[in-house]
Amino acid sequence: MLGIALRRFIAISAHVGLWVVALTAAFLLRFDFHFPRNYGDAVLVWYPLLLAIRVASFYAFGLFRGIWRYTSARDAIDIFKATTLSTLVLTAILVVFFQTFPRSVIAIDYMLALMLVGGVRFSIRAFRPPNVPLPSK
């Protein structure tokens, strides 16, 4: 059995990976699968900024606790809230400090992040072994 700290580290790492995929895919979708060179240096600031904000938001909503195979509708609502909050905070920072950030990338990233994180969590629940009972509350 994995320790709680290791499981939490794996959960956070999985989320970070999904968010990197979402932001990268958002850029690629927005720019027809050609990453624009003029955003190269700025991306080195945007990615860590987004990841820090998303980790903080998901942590605040308690989304790094629990076991994914027991994901519920409540988790879906919290994923929506945490992703929305982190996107709004990121948008505010980008508008103030980086006026050149493509706003369409933010919208695409938001939708992809919701789909990826929610999809992975609910896929794990859907494909859990049938002999594992859900906990009663």
In this structure, is residue 136 part of a structural domain? no
Per the model's pLDDT, the better-predicted residue between 136 and 92 turns out to be 92
In this structure, is residue 131 part of a structural domain? no
Per the model's pLDDT, the better-predicted residue between 38 and 131 turns out to be 38
- Give dist(CA 95, CA 111) in Å, integer: 19
In this structure, is residue 132 part of a structural domain? no
Residue 65 has pLDDT above 70, yes or no: yes
pLDDT digits (tens, 9 = 90+) for 119-130: 888 887 777 666
The domain tally of the chain equals: 1
The answer to whether the beta carbons of residues 30 and 110 sit under 8 Å apart is no
Residue 89's pLDDT band (cuts 50, 70, 90)? very high
Residue 116's pLDDT band (cuts 50, 70, 90)? very high
Rg of the Cα atoms in the chain: 16
Residue 41 has pLDDT above 70, yes or no: yes
> What pLDDT score was predicted for residue 25?
93
The answer to whether the beta carbons of residues 87 and 109 sit under 8 Å apart is yes
Chain centroid to CA 9 = 15
In this structure, is residue 104 part of a structural domain? yes
In this structure, is residue 21 part of a structural domain? yes
In this structure, is residue 133 part of a structural domain? no
Question: Which residues constitute the domain of residue 28?
Answer: 4-126
